[in-house]
Structure 1
Amino acid sequence: MALRRKREGPRITLPTAAVLRLMLQDPTGSFYGLKLAQESGFPSGTIYPILARLEAADWVQSYWEQEDAAVLERPRRRMYQMTGAGAQAARAALSTAQQALGIPASDIPTPVHPQVQLGMP
């Protein structure tokens, strides 16, 4: 089942769509879970499992901030960044979901950098 879900991509629920829309506003940007929770209005207990599923599907990659926690004066954050293929797949999944719900496709965020859609650096 996990392999099939990875090929098909994660299930697009309302909270998942909200996270994807936020990340697609800056597809090359880095995001941390608490900020996505605040901006989406969903609790962190909803956002972090979504990020884990997106990472398992290779739609996002994660890494720890490199700065020292003492310099930051706070714990380091786990950052999440869309992959090129993930951004493309997310746009397609949101488009499909919007068409199924009868929402205009023009509401889908467009890429900031066209090369991201092609999966190029």
Structure 2
Amino acid sequence: MTPATARVLNALLAQPGTPRYGMELMELTGLRSGSLYPILARLAGAGWLARQREDVDPSAAGRPVRSYYTLTPRGADAAPRALAAAAAVYWSPSDPSDPSDPTGPTGPKAPRSKDDGDGR
């Protein structure tokens, strides 16, 4: 698991039953859309996320239709274990910045690695 995926899962686990839309997740994780949406697609493909499009008229709403993402029961069960396993790989006791914790000492973004999928 990449640190970027860990940030997405942590954002969703903060309130597991709350549907989140893309822009909201971008703000919570600090990821750009080009990094976020492939992660959401992979998590949905693995059965960890459910995606639901809102039923609104974009003209009446004055904005595009939003897709909301919610952890499935499978995702809510598996994500904490996957985050713990990732923390064991990315974090050591000598490094106080735990990449699976989006609220760590460096703020909402976890330390970057070249494979975090963020593109920056």
* Equivalent in 39, 45, 50 of residue 28 of structure 2: 39
Q: C-alpha distance in 2, partners of 1:72/1:81?
A: 22
5+ long unaligned stretches in structure 2: 102-120
More helix per residue: 1
TM-score with structure 2 setting the length: 0.72
Q: What's 1:97 paired with?
A: 86
Residue 56 (structure 1) shift: 0.4
Higher relative contact order (CA 8 A, sep 6+): 2
Instruction: State the superposition RMSD in angstroms.
Output: 2.1
Alignment of 1:63-82 (within 5 A): 63-82=52-71
> How many aligned residue pairs are there?
96
Residue 96 (structure 1) shift: 1.1
Q: C-alpha distance in 1, partners of 2:59/2:15?
A: 29
TM-score with structure 1 setting the length: 0.71
5+ long unaligned stretches in structure 1: 1-11, 109-121
Q: C-alpha distance in 2, partners of 1:38/1:44?
A: 10
- Whether 1:13 and 2:2 are equivalent positions in the alignment is yes
